[in-house]
Structure 1
Amino acid sequence: MGELKWYVVRSVSGQEKKAKQYLETEIHRHGLDELVPQVLIPAEKVYEMRNGKKRVRERSFFPGYILIHADLSHGEVDHIITTTPGVLGFLSDKEGKTANAKPVPLRMSEVNRILGIVDETEEQPAALEVPFVVNETVKVIDGPFNGFSGTVNEVFEERKKLNVIVKIFGRAQPVELSYTQVEKEQ
């Protein structure tokens, strides 16, 4: 048995999860679980506000790419991987040229950095992905000012807060709100 190394497989962008499921199914069906023990999509959890509700979704670090821990010394393994639906092929040293293009394994330093990012996101709470801009109109959806509309005056990205100017009884009042308390007005 050869050595297990990490490889990058290109997939149809936006279809990484489906390609990963197909890969895992094909690997299991051919009994190659020891030769390909892990298929991974590096992703992070992010919050987003949709219709006044806070939702968590996963965002891929590398859209269109999947990491595979595999032993490619057996000829059938790379063939099964590359013929799986949704998989475009391995990232190789001769990108674009299919003749004699060999899959290039990732360096361990790269793998550790990528896996480190993945491991950190498992422990961290999801990051909020709603970059607000100054002078943007927002609607308050939570807290004592629920239902009011206002204009973003300042953005405190590190604290995930906004300074919003809200009109209360006809007077402009600055109010500090969390990203999760407001949504962009359509």
Structure 2
Amino acid sequence: MQRKKWYAIQTYAGSELRVKRQLEERVRKLGWEGHFEPIRTNGEVEYFFVPVEEVITSRSRRGRSSEYWIPYEYDLFVKTNERVVRGDLIARRAPRHLEQPALVEKVEPLWRVVVELTNRAEVEYLVPQEKGLRRDIRVGERVRPGIPITPDADERYLIDVKGQIVARERVRRLTLRYDDGSQQRRIIPEVYLPARLREGQRLPAGAEIEREHKIYSRATGLVKVKEYKDKRVVTVQRIEKRRLIPGYVFAKMGLDEEQMFELLRGLEGSVRFVGSRSRPIPIEGKEMAFIQRKAGLEEVPTAEPKAKAPKVEVEFEVGEVVQIVEGPFADFTGEIKEIDKEAEEVVVSVKIFGRETPVRLGFDAIERI
């Protein structure tokens, strides 16, 4: 048996995984497993690998679909830099029950619209459901003072702040009267309201007034948790997988030249070993070490690959002028002076009262102009 060495197999960019699958099948069909160094990935043994790296881009960091607003009364089940997959539980709030008997005096169906300000504070608007909402009153829409909420532009229901809509939901406002004569109003989303709750109903102590609420991840990625005065904001940063070297498949093998050419014979598309036409050339030294290191792959056959943190890719550049979209300097523009990839922060020079002032911000607090 030949001494095992690393070789590169060249194919068309975009067809690497198909070629890898065909090569895996052929090795097993020919019974040549012993001629290859097994590579353990995710608990499975393979003989070929396509080097990829995980990247978090600014597109991955921004995007309301991957942000979750978690009040402090919720139990949080994730933490910063933890990986989650779609469907994982992020937070839970237990069911709520009445502490004493109460009479349901009134049940009002309302629309609840929440606008988040640049300092992460929130302003809530409640509109009778029969009034309806304008089509452009939707989550993710940026708003300014004076924008009407209802289709008939009723002046009683106008946006009076500048920010972004982060919630739009149907709720019920319950008016409860307790035996001691006190009154309480509670706003409950319709989806968490117990069935058959109606006006005039008398509820005993311990009755469930709001069902359990669980928040699940809508995406797969890396978690970031930020804490604010009245809530935590959980962001799931989507992780993109990119080919490190498009058009190449790698393997450590101990085949003779005749066997190597037999391995590729008849495969779909253009597939060849890197080297001369008649002689494949092994890849050694720092080039192969670089590929393995970037791919997070360990060469020891019995060892699982170490968990490798995704690379943070910065789409901003020093000297670029950006707009600040979050925090006390929102709406200012400034020039990027420094970029800290590890902390995911930039230093932006902002002109205030005619004087340049350096401001340290997170990547998600700025946007390209």
TM-score by length of 2: 0.39
Q: CA deviation at 1:82?
A: 4.9
Q: CA deviation at 1:30?
A: 3.2
Q: CA deviation at 1:74?
A: 6.9
**Which digits, 9 at most, give the CA deviation of each residue in 1:82-102, with x for residues without a partner?**
53235520001x3xxx3xx20
Distance 2:346 2:22 in 1: 43
Matched, 1:103 2:288: no
Q: Which amino acid aligns with 2:264?
A: I
Distance 1:81 1:184 in 2: 47
Does the 8 A contact of 1:46 with 1:126 survive in 2? yes
Deviates most, 39-48 or 103-112? 103-112
Distance 1:86 1:69 in 2: 22
SS at match of 2:48: strand
Q: CA deviation at 1:9?
A: 0.8
Distance 1:139 1:84 in 2: 53
Would the alpha carbon gap of residues 180 and 79 (structure 1) be closer, same or farther in structure 2, given more than 3 Å must change? farther
Q: Which amino acid aligns with 1:84?
A: L
Structure number with bigger Rg = 2
**Greater RCO (CA < 8 Å, at least 6 residues apart):** 2
1:163 to 333, 340, 347: 347
Matched, 1:135 2:317: no
Partner of 2:48: 39
Does the 8 A contact of 1:139 with 1:184 survive in 2? no
Q: Which amino acid aligns with 2:311?
A: A
Partner of 1:25: 25
SS at match of 1:154: strand
Distance 1:157 1:79 in 2: 50
Matched, 1:4 2:4: yes
**Which digits, 9 at most, give the CA deviation of each residue in 1:99-150, with x for residues without a partner?**
xx2001123554344324433795442111123023343564xx646x8574
Q: How does 1:29-68 map to 2 (within 5 A)?
A: 29-36=29-36, 37=38, 38-50=47-59, 52-53=62-63, 54-68=237-251
SS at match of 2:249: strand
Distance 1:180 1:31 in 2: 52
Distance 1:67 1:109 in 2: 15
Q: Which amino acid aligns with 2:17?
A: K
Matched, 1:72 2:255: yes
- Report the RMSD for the aligned CA atoms in angstroms: 3.6
Would the alpha carbon gap of residues 55 and 163 (structure 1) be closer, same or farther in structure 2, given more than 3 Å must change? same
Q: Which amino acid aligns with 1:118?
A: A
Would the alpha carbon gap of residues 163 and 74 (structure 1) be closer, same or farther in structure 2, given more than 3 Å must change? closer
Q: Percent identity?
A: 23
SS at match of 1:163: strand
Would the alpha carbon gap of residues 149 and 22 (structure 1) be closer, same or farther in structure 2, given more than 3 Å must change? farther
Distance 1:103 1:117 in 2: 24
**Which digits, 9 at most, give the CA deviation of each residue in 1:14-70, with x for residues without a partner?**
332232223223322333322234212222221113372432122333222221112
TM-score by length of 1: 0.69
Q: Which amino acid aligns with 2:320?
A: N
2:267 to 65, 84, 95: 84
SS at match of 2:271: strand
Partner of 1:176: 360
Q: Which runs of 5+ in 2 are unaligned?
A: 39-46, 64-236, 298-304
Q: CA deviation at 1:158?
A: 4.4
